[in-house]
């Protein structure tokens, strides 16, 4: 099917016990970073962690995801909203895109309001780099509240 996109999700190892509820909900709702797939079918072909700082699994997981037909890898929203946010996100994105010739999207589900408020208070995302990274998942307040 031409309109099907196969994706893999890599989450922060701090959240390795996460059941993925917000990510899967956002896939179904095409919310957050998944808004780019409106009108398309999404098939999740893999879900794993980065392997812990500094991302030991990043070297190998994308290869496995690609073998499972992943076309796009999403680095989970948890990498941005956890405290502290992952300092390696940009490195992960560049590495995966370069080594595996795959598109990487930073973000999955919308940023929950409680995390948005915390990071706003702490001035965590006050750089142009962070503003660009959170853009796909920074939605309106009503949606952020719905994802709390």
84 is in which domain, residue-wise?
4-146
CATH number for the domain that contains residue 49: 3.40.50
Give burial (CB, 10 Å; 0-12/13-18/19+) of 120.
Answer: exposed
- At 46, give phi and psi (nearest 5°): -175, 150
Confidence at 2, pLDDT banded by 50, 70, 90 = low
Q: What is the CA 96 to chain-centroid distance, rounded?
A: 13
Distance CA 97, CA 85 (A): 21
Average pLDDT, the chain: 96
Residue 1 pLDDT greater than 60, yes or no: no
Q: What is the mean pLDDT of residues 109-118?
A: 97
pLDDT over 70 for what percent of the chain?
99
**Count of domains observed in the chain:** 1
3-state helix, strand, coil in the chain (%, to 5): 50, 15, 35
Q: How far is CA 16 from CA 76, 122, 142, in A?
A: 12, 25, 28
Task: Extract the runs of DSSP E, i.e. beta strands, from 1-148.
Answer: 4-11, 41-49, 72-75, 103-106
Residue 6, CA atoms < 13 Å, CB-side half-sphere: 13
- At 73, give phi and psi (nearest 5°): -115, 130
Confidence at 3, pLDDT banded by 50, 70, 90 = confident
pLDDT of residue 104: 98
Which of 63, 70, 72, 133 minimizes the C-alpha distance to 99?
A: 63
What pLDDT digit, counting tens, does each position of 94-110 carry?
999 999 999 999 999 99
């Amino acid at each position: 099917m031409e309109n099907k996109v196969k994706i893999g999700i890599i989450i922060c190892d701090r959240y390795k016990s996460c059941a993925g509820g917000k990510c899967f909900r956002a896939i179904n709702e095409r919310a957050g970073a998944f808004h780019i797939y409106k009108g398309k079918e999404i098939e999740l072909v893999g879900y794993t962690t980065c392997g812990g700082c500094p991302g030991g699994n990043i070297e190998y997981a994308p290869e496995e995801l690609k073998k499972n037909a992943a076309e796009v890898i999403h680095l989970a929203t948890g990498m941005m909203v956890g405290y502290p946010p992952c300092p390696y996100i940009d490195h992960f994105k560049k590495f995966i895109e370069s080594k595996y010739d795959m598109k990487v999207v930073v973000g999955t589900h919308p940023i929950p309001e409680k995390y948005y408020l915390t990071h706003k208070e702490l001035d965590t995302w006050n750089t142009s780099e962070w503003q660009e990274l959170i853009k796909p998942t920074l939605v309106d307040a009503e949606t952020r509240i719905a994802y709390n």
